[in-house]
Amino acid sequence: MKEFEQLIKDCIAGNQNALAKLYRQFAPKMFGVCLRYAKDSTEAEDNLQEGFIKVFNNLKSFRNDGSLEGWIRRIMINVSLEKIRKQHLMYPVEDVAIYDSINYSDDVIAKISADDLMKLIQELPPRYQLVFNLYVIEGMSHQEIADEMSITQGTSKSNLARAREILKKKVQENFGEINAKNNYTA
Amino acid sequence: MRKDRNLDELFRDKLLNYEQEPPAYLLDNILSAVAGERRKKKLIFWRVAGVAAALLIAFVAGWQLNEGDLPEMKQAVLVGQSSTPTKSPEVQIQSEKVMPAKEITSATTSLASNVVSSASQKIQSNSIDRNSKSVATSFASKSTPIASNNESLLMKPLKSLYRMIKPETENSNTLQAMKTAENSPALIQKTIDQQIMELNKKILTAENTSEEKARWLVGAQVSPEYNVSRGSQSRSYASNMLRSSSANQVDLGGGISVEYKKGKRWSLQSGVYYSGLGQSSGNSSGSGN
């Protein structure tokens, strides 16, 4: 954390070089975050730009006792969520919480690249994409997602199940064999 | 060895630390946007500061203007009555101090003597009894062009008139007195105000101790007038009640008075005084009294 202290001070002072350095340090990772929540790279770029402007304008409020990367990531996610909130309604979808799990072999996994998976996620409907990202990648609970998005836990679970169902089909279509089947709930 | 993984793990492992280089132009956009925000904040700050400064200046200027104008207005607004004519303060003071001034000159300090002697010279030169030129005449001749000035320059003539009424010789005498005071070690610590207060005190003492002789005084007065329309009616109504030539206009009034001073407290005064105040009403349909 100490390594960023001086950099943050310089950024707060308005030093353009410091701002550029901080950007280059975190931009690739944050662009990956934005891509997961966006429908395409253009929207992700918009979110990244808006997110970094917020980061630079609010660096004073960052406390050095936490993770700078985590703080920036949270801002990027909030910007993405805000955009989804504005653009799309979170339709409640109930009673689809049961999901047929599938297991993939290492051979299949090796064939699938991160870019392929990213593309699959971007093709999801926004509400499914959102819940899937928050639950599976960010590790948030349904309660936290429900609070964050002002929806019920049931809606969050349903959206997650739908997202999994769609992704499962797409993986099967694109990459072939599915190894095993287990039923479990979200 | 085959290790099975479910869908969630697959996505989490592959995408949690996913990185991709964003387009280069984004950095420029972000930096320019941040710089713009900062400029905007600075601009807002300077605007607020500018407005605050302007308000402060306006408040101080207004306050100073009011403070400066009020005494002049009070002196300028005179109500003319022939039985008790109002004298301009300067003339009144002069006429009352004709006799004691000579006595004071010998009793006061060098500074006081300078001031008083100059005052007595001024009185002598201004007195109708001894000199042919009167203060009133000179004031009137100087004031005539001012009185005919435009109405929009309302306060300007008042100020200049007030400056003329206040003799410049007083200022020069004060300066002379200050110079004398600088040379005098006893008075070097005293301020001008203290010296004037001391002088006034001595004048008062001299007046009390002097013999009260009955005497005649003839005086002339010229005083500026400023018509102010006040009333329970609206300002425009009250203003219309004055003649258009006299409403909100600086004018001059004047007259001659004769005073017989019996003693210190009693005096009989009479004279003729002209005042330009007038009233007219063009609304005959109203219920006038």
Q: State which residues form the domain around A117.
A: 98-185
Residues A25 and A78 occupy one common structural domain = yes
Amino acid at B138: S
* Most trustworthy range by pLDDT among A47-56, B119-128, B158-167, B279-288: A47-56
Report chain A residues whose CB lies below 8 A from the CB of B15: 32, 36, 114, 117-118, 121, 137
Q: Which whole number is the average pLDDT over B237-246?
A: 52
Average pLDDT, whole number, for chain A? Answer: 84
Least confident of A37-51, A72-86, B68-82: B68-82
The yes-or-no verdict on residue A38 having pLDDT over 70 is yes
Domain count along chain A: 2
Domain boundary among A87, A114, A144: A87
Residues A106 and A181 occupy one common structural domain = yes
Average pLDDT, whole number, for chain B? Answer: 64
**A81 near B CB under 8 A:** no
Confidence at residue B245, expressed as pLDDT on a 0 to 100 scale:
47
**Does residue A158 lie in a domain region?**
yes
Confidence at residue A79, expressed as pLDDT on a 0 to 100 scale:
94
A104/B6 Cβ within 8 A = yes
Q: Which whole number is the average pLDDT over A94-119?
A: 71
**Does residue A92 lie in a domain region?**
no
CA angle, corner B116, sides to B115 and B117, nearest 5? Answer: 95
A118/B18 Cβ within 8 A = yes
Domain boundary among A42, A59, A87: A87
Residues A106 and A83 occupy one common structural domain = no
Pairing of strands B267-274, B215-226: unpaired
The yes-or-no verdict on residue A174 having pLDDT over 90 is no
β-sheet with B250-261: strand ranges across: B215-226, B250-261, B267-274
**Does residue A93 lie in a domain region?**
no
Of B201, B221, B200, which Cα lies nearest the Cα of B90?
B221
For B110-135, write each residue's pLDDT tens digit: 444 454 444 445 444 444 444 444 44
The yes-or-no verdict on residue B148 having pLDDT over 50 is no
B3/A136 Cβ within 8 A = no
CATH number for the domain spanning A146: value is 1.10.10.10
Mutate to test the interface with B, among A26, A40, A45 (most CBs of B within 10 A): A45
Mutate to test the interface with B, among A21, A25, A117, A141 (most CBs of B within 10 A): A117
**Does residue A107 lie in a domain region?**
yes
Residue of A101 and B4 predicted with greater confidence: A101
Residues A112 and A60 occupy one common structural domain = no
Confidence at residue B66, expressed as pLDDT on a 0 to 100 scale:
78
Residues A102 and A52 occupy one common structural domain = no
Q: Is the pTM of this model over 0.90?
A: no
The residues facing A99 across adjacent strands are A184
Mutate to test the interface with A, among B1, B9, B14, B37 (most CBs of A within 10 A): B14
Residues A102 and A181 occupy one common structural domain = yes
Cα–Cα distance measured from residue A102 to residue A175, given in angstroms and rounded to the nearest whole number: 13
Least confident of A132-141, B19-28, B277-286: B277-286
Residues A10 and A73 occupy one common structural domain = yes
Q: What percent of chain B has pLDDT over 70?
A: 39
Confidence at residue A102, expressed as pLDDT on a 0 to 100 scale:
64
Give the Å distances, CA to CA, from B202 to A125, B6, B111, B193. 102, 112, 13, 14
For B3-62, write each residue's pLDDT tens digit: 456 888 888 888 988 999 999 999 999 999 998 888 888 899 999 999 999 999 999 988
Residues A120 and A83 occupy one common structural domain = no
Pairing of strands B215-226, B5-6: unpaired
Tally of CB atoms within 10 A around A107: 12
Q: Which whole number is the average pLDDT over B257-280?
A: 75
A27/B27 Cβ within 8 A = yes
Domain boundary among A62, A87, A112: A87
Residues A80 and A132 occupy one common structural domain = no
Residues A176 and A106 occupy one common structural domain = yes
Cα–Cα distance measured from residue A78 to residue B17, given in angstroms and rounded to the nearest whole number: 18
Residues A50 and A105 occupy one common structural domain = no
Confidence at residue B147, expressed as pLDDT on a 0 to 100 scale:
43
Cα–Cα distance measured from residue A46 to residue A41, given in angstroms and rounded to the nearest whole number: 9
The residues facing B247 across adjacent strands are none
Residues A47 and A110 occupy one common structural domain = no
Cβ partners under 8 Å of residue A174, min gap 6: A112, A116, A120
Least confident of A33-37, A43-47, A172-176, B61-65: A172-176
CATH number for the domain spanning A78: value is 1.10.1740.10
- As to burial, measured by CB atoms within 10 angstroms (0-12 exposed, 13-18 middle, 19+ buried), residue B109 is middle
**A175 near B CB under 8 A:** no
Cα–Cα distance measured from residue A147 to residue B29, given in angstroms and rounded to the nearest whole number: 33
User: Is ipTM > 0.90 here?
Assistant: no
Report chain B residues whose CB lies below 8 A from the CB of A132: 11
B15/A121 Cβ within 8 A = yes
